[in-house]
Structure 1
Amino acid sequence: MRRYARTLVAVALATTVAAGTAGWASGSTQRAVSGPPPGSASWRADEVRGRELPDPASATPAQVASFFAGLSPSQQNELVRRHPSVVGNLDGVPLELRYRANSAALKASTDPRYRSLARPGRRILAFDPRGRGLVAEVFGDLRAARHVAVVVPGADIDAGSFDRDSDPYGTPAGMSRSLRDATGPETAVIAWAGYTTPVGVGWDAATGELAEVGADRLARFTDGLAADGLVVPAVFCHSYGSVVCGLAAHRLHVDDLVVLGSPGMRAGSVPALRTTARVWAAKDPTDWIGDVPNVEFAGMGHGADPADPDFGARRVPARRAVGHTGYFAPGTDSLRAFAAIAEGTAGTVLVDGATGITAPTGQSAGAGAVR
């Protein structure tokens, strides 16, 4: 009887997740963008001096990188010219070629959503116009960087909301710019909106369907960074993005995995993530995500709260962050801690029975640090 009662409670909570709690709203069901980049059919039919091009659907990023390494600069440039949509979105292609390919694709686009992305000087690492639009942008010199961070956003992010003036620290571009400004010239930050996010917080946000596709894309993306010879990144996952990161964790080539404002990672603990990365979690006391039941039942809900000490993640202080999108706001203790993690200078200390974060190495512990 008790077991039956617990099941009823779980069903009720999962239904609450879908129907909405404080801060949640209804949303429309989305179809995830998946598979190889647009233009892959014409790419497969092409060749370079008698050599077949790697199949975007089956070639690994390492195989793609090896193929491009064997081409002359003129051959690489010809592929950029003939197939910008494939070159710009194919993980394993050298980032310099991706920048040029995506710049060409954006200039050729007539969609008003992409005008700002086409501005000179922006380093667009991915641009896929399918669906609501998938985008990745680099802040800093990724090739020369000693430290790299990747920001994975949550719901309601697409090409149109990737970079906006309202609520900027709730956008991947705004979060990434802020983190880049808080670090230094040796750190590059990638804003990765490379998956189809939920719209609103309805069925899609309460289930893991979009996150499963997103996890595959994120894992391939980090494989591509490694294949291109770039340094191992720290990954920062906001809101529903933390569900994506939880499902991808065991496949990600990362040193640090940081979740903030997380509804759950579809894992009951850090060991259940099966990752060798250090796992960090932040949740400020005013974030409405705290009202979301941490359950998982019949595919609904995302499980344990990563910020709960029992989960086993290292704590990131977030006393000065406000709301669900305030973690990257300048002057917050959370942003200061994120910068330390990105730069590899974060120390750890036990706080209230949980593992927390100290001030960066060589700096005194200010008001925003856990002491």
Structure 2
Amino acid sequence: MDITSLYNANINNITTAKNAFDALAKAFGQHVEAWKHEVADRLSASHWTGPTSNVAQGRVADLGGELQAARQELSFVSKALANAAEQFALAQSHLISALDDAKNAKLNVAPDGRITWDNEPSSPNFAGAGAETTAVAVSGRITAALNEAAHADQEISTRLNHLASNASNGTGLNAATVAQDQAAETARENIPVAGTDPNSVKQWWNGLTEAQQQKFIEAHPDRIGNLDGIPAVARDRANRITLQQAKQDLQSQLDHLGPEPPAKIAGASGAVSNPAHDEWERRKALLQEQLNGANAIDKRLTTKADERNPPSYLLGFDTRGNGHAIVAVNNPDTADNVSTYVPGTGARLGGIEGDIIRSDRMVASATEANKKAGDPRTTSSITWVGYDAPQSIVPDATKDTYARNASNSLHSFETGLRATHEGTPSNNTILAHSYGTTTVGYALRDKGLPVDNVVLVASPGAGVEHARDLGVDPSHVFVAKGDIDKIDMAPALSADKLVSNGVNNLGSWYGVVQDPNHHLIHGRDPMIPDFGARVIPTDPGTGHSDYWNPHSKSLQVMGEIIAGRK
């Protein structure tokens, strides 16, 4: 495919062919119906019997099936031509847009794609100091448009050649062949359901043309944006649509919430709290919080990308319950190192801004670690608020149900990262904080996660007795707890572990060797030496939320781990 051919392509010719096949299929269908009524039905209603009748009626029945199969095959040709028109039109529009922008920038594009420009400042055709940068960008767009058209040409040619072969060799009259062709058409048009294996999702997505992919993004952004196995760029495009729709919807709900009900109403023994007012306040607070979270995400997504603010991608978004969001700093499909950060108690859409800041800092820390080592590898850090986290320490965070319920979603997401990554497999880290470590521990223990490193920060227990029980090389399991972080005061609830912990605490107070079986509420304390993890150093005065403080030792080491330098 070349620039001239695509630019001058008359897409209307394909549409004309499609319309002709529509007319042919309609006429053929009318003939099939007439034949069925005039021949098959009349023969079936006749009183003709005997061996010859049996043979004739059997052949008529077979012929009816063949005619129906041919009718369906004709419809597949029409569908293929319709897809071809859409795909070539989209590729052509991309090419024309790139060429128009080149012209506006005073760049000259040759038929072979070479771009030249006038470098003389005094010339009326001077392209400006940024001409080279613009030329590189335009050249990339032209190449993408040509590749898009070539891909469409190959895909449509394959479909039409297959259908032509079916027609010429007679297999298109076979019901089994038609069923296979119908299944292929259905697969192109149906989005895999949530929970489908991400590798299968990726295979389905790769089988679509760019026009088909764009159609799904525009028609079903909520489903495409939250489907593991869809590449990050496509998920981001879909979720940005959903984000804007959600912002409008949340604001509309706030605007139509109605007047505030009275706080008190008359009761049998005097004024009492008004349940309607309590519900109104709860609803308003939730809507406003979710809108704040959506605005924070939008602000990060639209921040101009530079060295201090890498590009970000929205890999998941919805407002169900307390809301969920998955935000990546840098593209995880192309990064050499990929980290997924799972926050703990209180994680929700409304509070995601602080978690995204932590991802930004981890990317900066990992980049600095590689820079010091002269390593050009890149890093992506993902904030994963893709589960319903506990919203209170007591009673929510004392339960392991939140962690259990998140295992499938986390496993699917991490599997999807592997499925969509381009080139050499990335060095993947799962990093969690507080109750998030319980969530990660349960997923590692029960489902297994395709990760290379595990980092548990301020953990109340990860559901296992030893680092090796997480399914990852213990030398790649890291733990951290600050000197004034009281997370290790989260007591185990079983009687035997309470006694053991009491002995341990007494021993610690009097300088006795620490009991290696010390348990917290969700498992053995990962900081105990017998747990078998590597300890991340922290600064003096590190509390429960201080691990990501700028220039802190813990942030530095987390960056080194994510960068693959530990």
TM surpasses 0.5? yes
Q: Is the Cα–Cα contact under 8 Å of residues 296 and 303 in structure 1 kept in the other structure?
A: no
Match of 2:527 in 1: 307
Provide the rounded CA distance (Å) in 2 between the counterparts of 1:132 and 1:297.
Answer: 34
Structure 1's 160 and 294: CA in aligned 2 closer, same or farther, altered over 3 A?
A: same
Amino acid at match of 2:429: A
Match of 1:262 in 2: 459
Q: Is the Cα–Cα contact under 8 Å of residues 135 and 159 in structure 1 kept in the other structure?
A: yes
- What SS is found at the alignment partner of 2:455? strand
Residue 288 of structure 1 deviates from its aligned partner by 1.6
Q: Is the Cα–Cα contact under 8 Å of residues 359 and 381 in structure 2 kept in the other structure?
A: yes
Provide the rounded CA distance (Å) in 2 between the counterparts of 1:262 and 1:321.
Answer: 17
**2:55 counterpart of 1:55:** no
**2:319 counterpart of 1:139:** no
Q: Which runs of 5 or more structure 2 residues have no equivalent in the other structure? A: 1-182, 251-290, 304-311, 368-376, 497-519
Aligned counterpart in structure 1 of residue 478 of structure 2, from 274, 280, 289: 280
Q: Is the Cα–Cα contact under 8 Å of residues 321 and 332 in structure 1 kept in the other structure?
A: no
Q: Deviations over 1:147-170 (max 9, x none)?
A: 11111100111110001xxxxxxx
Please provide the CA RMSD for this pair. Answer: 2.2
Match of 1:173 in 2: 356
Structure 1's 281 and 71: CA in aligned 2 closer, same or farther, altered over 3 A?
A: same
Structure 1's 343 and 100: CA in aligned 2 closer, same or farther, altered over 3 A?
A: same
1:23-62 superposed matches below 5 A: 49-51=185-187, 53-62=190-199
Match of 2:439 in 1: 244
Residue 202 of structure 1 deviates from its aligned partner by 1.4
Amino acid at match of 2:314: I
Match of 1:83 in 2: 220
Match of 1:342 in 2: 562
Larger Cα Rg: Structure 1 or Structure 2?
2
Residue 294 of structure 1 deviates from its aligned partner by 4.4
Match of 1:116 in 2: 296
Larger RCO of the pair (alpha carbons < 8 Å, separation 6+):
1
Provide the rounded CA distance (Å) in 2 between the counterparts of 1:48 and 1:325.
Answer: 52
**2:415 counterpart of 1:223:** yes
Shift >6 Å, 4+ stretches: none
Residue 182 of structure 1 deviates from its aligned partner by 1.2
Q: Is the Cα–Cα contact under 8 Å of residues 286 and 322 in structure 1 kept in the other structure?
A: yes
Q: Is the Cα–Cα contact under 8 Å of residues 429 and 452 in structure 2 kept in the other structure?
A: yes
Match of 1:27 in 2: none
Residue 285 of structure 1 deviates from its aligned partner by 0.8
Residue 249 of structure 1 deviates from its aligned partner by 1.1
Residue 57 of structure 1 deviates from its aligned partner by 3.8
Q: Is the Cα–Cα contact under 8 Å of residues 48 and 75 in structure 1 kept in the other structure?
A: no
Q: Is the Cα–Cα contact under 8 Å of residues 332 and 421 in structure 2 kept in the other structure?
A: no
Q: Is the Cα–Cα contact under 8 Å of residues 320 and 333 in structure 1 kept in the other structure?
A: no
**2:390 counterpart of 1:195:** no
Residue identity over aligned pairs, in percent, reads 30
Farther-moved stretch of structure 1 (143-152 vs 78-87): 143-152
TM-score (norm 2): 0.49
Aligned counterpart in structure 1 of residue 348 of structure 2, from 143, 150, 158: 158
Residue 141 of structure 1 deviates from its aligned partner by 3.3
Provide the rounded CA distance (Å) in 2 between the counterparts of 1:77 and 1:345.
Answer: 39
Amino acid at match of 1:153: P
Q: Is the Cα–Cα contact under 8 Å of residues 427 and 564 in structure 2 kept in the other structure?
A: no
Query: What is the number of equivalent residue pairs in this alignment?
Result: 293
Residue 311 of structure 1 deviates from its aligned partner by 0.7
Q: Which runs of 5 or more structure 1 residues have no equivalent in the other structure? A: 1-46, 164-170, 347-371
**Structure ranking higher in helix proportion:** 2
